[in-house]
Amino acid sequence: MSGPHTFPKSSRLCSRKAIESLFGEGSRSLTAYPLRAIYKPAGDTTQVLFSVSKRHFKHAVDRNRAKRQLREAWRLHRDILLEGPVASMMQPLHIAFLWMADEPQPTDLVHRKVKNLLHRIAEEQ
């Protein structure tokens, strides 16, 4: 049973081959500090990856919180890409959200930045 705001395994980007392809040639990148989004047209479904480097947060608890904030922001705002008039014209994407800040950020800021990046990705498609 999946509602409109779930985040199932099928929408997570897990394939090593797909991840290497995403970070290879042909990918586009957008930045809205403290985040960077790297995206590329994909096969059948839109899938996302969230990454917070150990270089930015030494403690796992801080990395996990940042990833939790990113997942929640995606879950609530993904309809910008997946529903509505823009979605019918867009092809599925692989998207990676990378955390660039060295300090924790407020959740409302993360939500605004993810929303900003999703709008910009939709405009460029």
Q: Which CATH number goes with the domain that contains 118?
A: 3.30.230.10
> How many separate domains does the chain show?
1
Query: What pTM did the predictor assign?
Result: 0.92
Strands (E), 11-81: 28-32, 35-41, 47-51
Range of the domain at 18: 9-124
| Vertex 102: Cα angle to 95 and 7 (nearest 5) | 35
Instruction: Indicate whether 89 belongs to any domain.
Output: yes
Instruction: Indicate whether 63 belongs to any domain.
Output: yes
CB 99 within 8 A of CB 70: yes
Judged against a pLDDT cut of 50, whether residue 1 lies above it is answered with no
Tell me which of 90 and 71 has the higher pLDDT: 71
H or E element, residue 46: none
Instruction: Indicate whether 2 belongs to any domain.
Output: no
Instruction: Indicate whether 23 belongs to any domain.
Output: yes
Mean of pLDDT over the chain:
91
Instruction: Indicate whether 4 belongs to any domain.
Output: no
Residue 31 CA to its chain's centroid (Å): 12
Instruction: Indicate whether 118 belongs to any domain.
Output: yes
Residue 23 CA to its chain's centroid (Å): 14
Judged against a pLDDT cut of 60, whether residue 85 lies above it is answered with yes
